[in-house]
A and B are shown apart, each in its own frame.
Chain A
Amino acid sequence: MSERVVVRKTYKLFIGGAFPRSESGRSYVVSSSKGKFLANASKASRKDAREAVAAARKAFPGWSSATAYNRGQILYRVAEMLEGRRSQFVTELVDADGVGVRRAGELVDAAVDRLVWYAGWSDKIGAIRGSANPVAGPYFNLSSTEPTGVVAVVAPEAGPLLGLVSVIAPVIVTGNTCVVVASERAPLPSITLAEVLATSDLPGGVVNILTGSAAEIAPWLAGHMDVNAIDLTGAEPELAVSCEQDAAENLKRVLRPASGKADWITDPGTGRMTAFLETKTVWHPIGI
Chain B
Amino acid sequence: MFEYAPAPESRDIVDLKPSYGLFINGEWVEPLGEGREKTVNPASEEVLAEVAVASEADVDRAVQAARKAFTVWSAMPGSERAKYLFRIARIIQERSRELAVLESLDNGKPIRESRDVDLPLVAAHFFYYAGWADKLGYAGYGADPRPLGVAGQVIPWNFPLLMLAWKIAPALACGNTVVLKPAETTPLTALAFAEICRQVDLPPGVVNIVTGAGETGAALVNHPDVNKVAFTGSTEVGRQIARSVAGSGKKVTLELGGKAANIVFEDAALDQAVEGIVNGIFFNQGHVCCAGSRLLVQESIATELLEALKRRLGTLRLGDPLDKNTDIGAINSAAQLARIRELSDAGEPEGAERWSPACLLPDKGFWFPPTIFTGVAQSHRIAREEVFGPVLSVLTFRTPAEAVEKANNTPFGLSAGVWTEKGSRILWVASKLRAGVVWANTFNKFDPTSPFGGYKESGYGREGGRHGLEAYLDV
Contacts and interface: CB of A to CB of B under 8 A. Distances in A.
A288 interface: no
Contacts, number: 109
Question: How many interface residues does chain A have, given as a range?
Answer: 35 or more
Interface string A38-71: 0000000000000000000000000001000000
Contacts of B450: 133, 135, 141, 143, 281, 283
A285 to B, nearest CB: 5
A244 interface: yes
Interface in A223-246: 228, 237, 240-242, 244-245
Contacts of B459: 251
A240 B238 CA distance: 19
A270 to B, nearest CB: 9
Interface residues of B, number: 45
Considering residues B247, B411, B450, which has the most beta carbons from chain A within 10 angstroms of its beta carbon? B450
A251 B235 contact: yes
Interface in A205-264: 228, 237, 240-242, 244-245, 247-251, 253, 256
A278 interface: yes
A244 B460 CA distance: 14
A60 to B, nearest CB: 10
A253 B460 contact: yes
Given A141-B450, A281-B452, A283-B437, A248 B242 contact: yes
Contacts of A88: none
Given A128-B140, A143-B467, A251 B447 contact: no
A148 B430 CA distance: 16
Given A135-B447, A244-B247, A282 B442 contact: no
Contact of A285 (B247, B441, B451): B441
Contacts of B447: 133, 135-137, 139, 141
A36 interface: no
Nearest to B452: A281
A65 B467 CA distance: 23
A251 B455 CA distance: 9
Interface string A113-157: 000000000000000100101111101010100001100000000
Interface string A272-283: 000000111111
Contacts of A253: 460
Given A245-B243, A279-B462, A283-B440, A250 B449 contact: no
B246 A244 contact: yes
Given A139-B442, A241-B246, A248-B246, A279 B436 contact: yes
A278 B436 contact: yes
Contacts of A244: 242, 246-247
Nearest to B455: A278
A242 B247 CA distance: 8
B18 interface: no
Interface in B419-463: 426, 430-431, 433-442, 445, 447, 449-453, 455-460, 462
A282 B438 contact: yes
A9 interface: no
B442 to A, nearest CB: 5
Nearest to A259: B249
B445 A139 contact: yes
B165 interface: no
A284 interface: yes
Interface pairs A-B: 4 shortest CB-CB: A248-B242, A241-B247, A244-B246, A135-B447
Interface of A: 65, 128, 131, 133-137, 139, 141, 143, 148-149, 228, 237, 240-242, 244-245, 247-251, 253, 256, 271, 278-285
Given A135-B449, A250-B456, 7 more contacts: A244-B246, A279-B451, A280-B438, A281-B437, A283-B437, A284-B426, A284-B441
